[in-house]
Amino acid sequence: MPSFTLKHFSVSCCAIGLMTLSGCNTTSSMILSENVAVVASGSQANQASQALTNLLDTIWSYEMSEASTELTASKIPDISIETLEKDAKQFQTYIDALHAIDKTALSHEEQITLTIQLYRLQNYVDEFRYNAHFVPLTSEYGFHSSLLNMYYRFDFTDNQSIQGYINTLNDIPAYFDQQIAYMRQGMAVGQVQPKAVMEGFEASVAAVITDNPLDSPFIAPLMAIERDSEALQVLKTQAIDAVTNSVNVAYQTFYDFLVNEYIPQAKTDIAVASWPNGREFYQNRIKHYTTLDMTADEIHTIGLKEVARIRNDMQGVLDDLGFSGTINEFIDFLRTDKQFYADTPDELIDYAMVLSKRIDALLPQLFNQLPRTPYGVAPVPDSIAPKYTTGRYVSPRNDRQPGYYWVNTYALDKRPLYALPALTLHEAVPGHHLQISLAREMTNLPQVRRSTYISAFGEGWGLYSEFLGKEVGFYETPYDEFGRLSYEMWRACRLVVDTGMHVMGWTRQQALDYMLENTALSEHNVTTEIDRYISWPGQALSYKLGEIKIKELRAQATQILGDDFDLREFHAAILAHGSVPLTVLEQNINMYIERIQTAAKSTETSAKSE
């Protein structure tokens, strides 16, 4: 799973949405009026295309410069209720303007762009409507940890940039105060995280508070500057003062709030259904994360069927090994035998690096185009590792940086080596790094297309990428193959436990037992994963449903095209348009099939005429 630059989660740091609101940016409203007028004056393709282009530029500019959705190099976002309301009104105005464009007059590529822009805006609208800003954290992440990465947005090559960074540090207390105020509003109406998933969360806040400001992660970028001058020394002194009197104070305030108020008053049940309009919100998250019109019951049923199928495949591995016990006895063996675990963090990271280079060499068998952006392998930061997932992809913040495949080295006896091949394929290549980097490098597409991550597509591709390892001989032992199956089972179980916990009355222990029964994940991993699903409703559904759709489309293309099917061309067709909703993906593959069929008929006709 990619990180929300460090990456996306539904319960966002500054979620935006819609109420019945007033107040709108005047300049943007004038531009919108002009765009709507263009559409109204005629339905010519050029007019519709130009209206869309103008509107996309306006929306992107607003998001980057005025909206509360982005942490930029010039500001921490103002998430006051006045700003959220202004943004909500503006986003709804943009949605209305997009719907006014004659979609039939647009090219196929422009229609995709329109769909994705609406998808992005609608999520802002929906999250605010359901007060997602009342819950700005999950079990593993929150607004306080996202700021640890803000230094990537500054280049530190000139004093002006450094001064901007210091100003941002001094803005942190007001930002934290706004977040805490929203969390208190959530407490007042019962829209809070469960106590079970908040246990120990305060440690991720305490880890940032330092007695010596020179030890602060916020100071490290300045200490790394090699040049020296009197002006720079003054700036460093200002930065130290900002850490002491702003950053540490803000984090201490948040820590005290968590320990003394939020965690003690957190709710005892785990279901999002108990939130105000919780069931409606969960259905909304299903639609957002899967891009499909499915109910929780339908998804739960698919999950049960997938679990049964994969369990049968697991039995096949046991048969190959000549293991006479049950699947659960084999899983217990895998969890407890030391041969399957690294002795040191470096050993785990080194193995991940070896696996990464091995799959790099196999990619040309699967793809005819590879990204220019490189990636590295690094451990999950210590401050968040204890409650963090087993691995994650971190996108580069700018074109001077690589992507990173993060591997969690906390609790080594819970990080099995047999699972690392599948994890590597998912998080690095051909999974998230390859797909996201290719999308970012599509400079012919507007920014909204290159920057929007659609979970069903991205996570479905990541899980499908694990399967691709079988086709290039990446899994060298039956244990590696069982690790792959366990990871697929993990994603199938998500369909069962996520829906079960949030709307079907499942307890946390019931979900833990189900995952432990059916996957080879360690108990620690299962616990952190279940807590993640509890605190991030619906997101976990995207993986398996996305993978199922990609495999269905591949089977369809293989059957229809026969000998004309080319796996590398199929993958190119999947990835050609960036991250898209699954319905759009299906349209794209149908067009790809028609194109290949037409080319084959043309070749056949030419051959006959000769």
Whole-angstrom Cα distance, residue 266 to residue 501?
A: 17
Quote the pLDDT of residue 5: 37
Under the banding of pLDDT at 50, 70 and 90, the label for residue 480 is very high
pLDDT beyond 60 at 231: yes
Residue 441 has pLDDT above 90, yes or no: yes
What pairs with residue 137 in β-bridges? 142
Identify the residue whose tokens are 């993060």: 406
Report whether pLDDT(157) > 90: no
Which residues, at least 6 apart from 198, have a Cβ–Cβ distance to it below 8 Å? Answer: 139, 258, 262, 263, 266
Residue with tokens 């005429």: 609
DSSP summary character for residue 541: G
Angle subtended by helix axes 508-518 and 478-503, to nearest 10: 160
Query: What pLDDT is stored for residue 516 in this prediction?
Result: 95
Instruction: List, for residues 359-412, the tens digit of each pLDDT value.
Output: 999 999 999 999 999 999 999 998 889 888 899 999 998 888 899 999 999 999
Query: In angstroms, what CA-CA distances link 444 with 49, 109, 130, 449, 576?
Result: 15, 11, 35, 10, 12
Q: Give me the sign of the Cα torsion angle 86, 88, 91, 93.
A: negative
pLDDT digits (tens, 9 = 90+) for 560-576: 999 999 999 999 999 99
DSSP string, 489-527: HHHHHHHHHHHHHHHS---HHHHHHHHHHH----HHHHH
> What average pLDDT does range 36-49 have in this prediction?
65
**pLDDT-derived band at 14, boundaries 50, 70, 90:** very low
- In angstroms, the CA 54 to CA 52 distance is 5
Reference 331, options 526, 527, 524, 517; nearest CA is 517
User: pLDDT tens digits, residue range 314-333?
Assistant: 999 999 999 999 999 999 99
Which has the minimum average pLDDT: 37-46, 58-67, 503-512, 591-600?
Answer: 37-46
Higher pLDDT residue, 34 or 500? 500
Separation CA 434–CA 437 (nearest Å): 5
Q: Average the pLDDT over each of 55-69, 70-84, 387-401, 499-513 and give the range with the smallest value.
A: 70-84
Average pLDDT over residues 48-62: 96
Q: What is the pLDDT of residues 98-151, one digit of tens each?
A: 999 999 999 999 999 999 999 999 999 999 999 999 999 999 889 999 999 888
Residue 495, pLDDT > 70, answer yes
Q: Give the C-alpha distances (Å, rounded to integers) separating 337 from 320, 326, 445, 447.
A: 19, 16, 50, 49
User: How far, in Å, CA of 197 to CA of 272, rounded?
Assistant: 13
DSSP result, 345-379: HHHHHHHHHHHHHHHHHHGGGT-S---S--EEEEE
Pull the structure tokens for residue 336: 């407890």
Of 166-175, 225-234, 426-435, 559-568, which range is least confident?
225-234
Q: What's the helix, strand, coil split of the chain in %, to 5?
A: 70, 5, 30
Are 460 and 546 in contact, with CB atoms under 8 Å apart?
yes
If one compares 152 and 525, the residue with the highest pLDDT of the two is: 525
Among candidate residues 409, 402, 420, the one with its CA nearest the CA of residue 382: 409
3-state DSSP assignment of residue 3: strand
- Asked whether 144 and 204 are in contact (CB, 8 A), the reply is yes
For residue 271, the model assigns a pLDDT of 98
Report the DSSP pairing between strands 403-407 and 391-394.
Answer: antiparallel
Amino acid in position 58: T
Does pLDDT of 73 surpass 80? no
Over residues 547-562, the mean pLDDT reads 98
Give the global pTM: 0.90
pLDDT digits (tens, 9 = 90+) for 174-211: 999 999 999 999 999 999 999 999 999 999 999 999 99
* pLDDT for residue 3: 54
pLDDT at 56 over 90: yes
Q: Are 463 and 425 in contact (CB under 8 A)?
A: no
Per DSSP, the three-state class of 165 is: helix
